[in-house]
Structure 1
């Protein structure tokens, strides 16, 4: 698929097919695409916790996705919890931050990786929903995620059971200034 068409056609999906399951191989392909994103000093601090079993997926949906009706919106999808190793991206080897953003660079890098992941999913015919409203403490406990990692989002991945319309985008002159 042509790249411009891909980025214009990718949509957030809030309803997934009960008849189709995402495979481990598909999730691996998504993570390989995510790994190709740039990161601060090539620190590669993004981490992915892939939840594919029906029981654990249901437990996370019901107990760890408290708001925005995300438990319902992610039904029939695999879940990928995204995290980054803190105090690495944006930091010197002695632990001093390179600039005022500090761990903001880990979040930035993970965002770049997650964009690759959702675009790859769209190319593969899969839908995604990035959920920032989540109970990180419960997720950390259920998936045994180390305290040295910051949990950022949960991404639902599945076969879409809907085709959301493209929302209107702001005009370029309202978001960009040229000097």
Structure 2
């Protein structure tokens, strides 16, 4: 698929089909695509916790996401994304390289997430990136170490809907040249 078409085709999907599941091999392919994203000083701090079992996923959705977001993830695999704190954007002595500090970990993980959702789309899956979640419950449920910052939950599945492309601002509205 041509890259421009892939970017324009990818949508946030909030309803997934129960007919076909995401395979572990496809999830691995998505994560390999995510790993191709650049990161601060090649720190590669992104981490992925993949929920594939229907039973475990259902329990996770009930305990770790608000009801509305949990409903949007039914019939999908669920990935929890984290990054290692105090590495991306930090010097070896532990001091931040600039005022963004751990913001660079979020930035790097965002680049990875874009690669992941575009690869998912290329493979025929839909995705939804969820930021409203209970980080403490997620940390406990998945035994995520304290040195990792929980960023987002990503639902991945076979779309049971075809969301329309939302209107985008005119490029001239968001750019300044000097």
TM-score grouping bracket, smaller chain normalisation: over 0.9
Q: Deviations over 1:16-40 (max 9, x none)?
A: 0011110100100000000000000
Q: Which residue of structure 2 aligns with residue 107 of structure 1?
A: 106
Q: Which residue of structure 1 aligns with residue 74 of structure 2?
A: 75
Q: Which residue of structure 1 aligns with residue 137 of structure 2?
A: 138
Return the offset for 1:66: 1.1
Count of residues paired in the alignment: 178
Q: Which residue of structure 2 aligns with residue 11 of structure 1?
A: 11
CA distance in structure 2 between the aligned counterparts of 1:164 and 1:175, rounded to whole angstroms? 24
CA distance in structure 2 between the aligned counterparts of 1:99 and 1:133, rounded to whole angstroms? 27
**Mapping for residues 30-109 of structure 1, pairs under 5 Å:** 30-66=30-66, 69-109=68-108
Return the offset for 1:83: 0.2
CA distance in structure 2 between the aligned counterparts of 1:37 and 1:19, rounded to whole angstroms? 32
CA distance in structure 2 between the aligned counterparts of 1:55 and 1:41, rounded to whole angstroms? 39
Q: Secondary structure at the match of 1:134?
A: coil
Q: Deviations over 1:66-108 (max 9, x none)?
A: 16x1111110000000000000000000001000000000000
Gaps of 5+ in 2: none
Q: Any runs of at least 4 consecutive aligned residues in structure 1 with deviations exceeding 4 A, and if so which?
A: none
The root-mean-square deviation of aligned C-alpha atoms, in Å, is 0.7
Return the offset for 1:41: 0.1
Q: Secondary structure at the match of 2:112?
A: helix
CA distance in structure 1 between the aligned counterparts of 2:136 and 2:162, rounded to whole angstroms? 33
TM-score in terms of structure 2 length: 0.99
Q: Secondary structure at the match of 2:120?
A: helix
Q: Secondary structure at the match of 1:95?
A: coil
**Mapping for residues 157-172 of structure 1, pairs under 5 Å:** 157-172=156-171
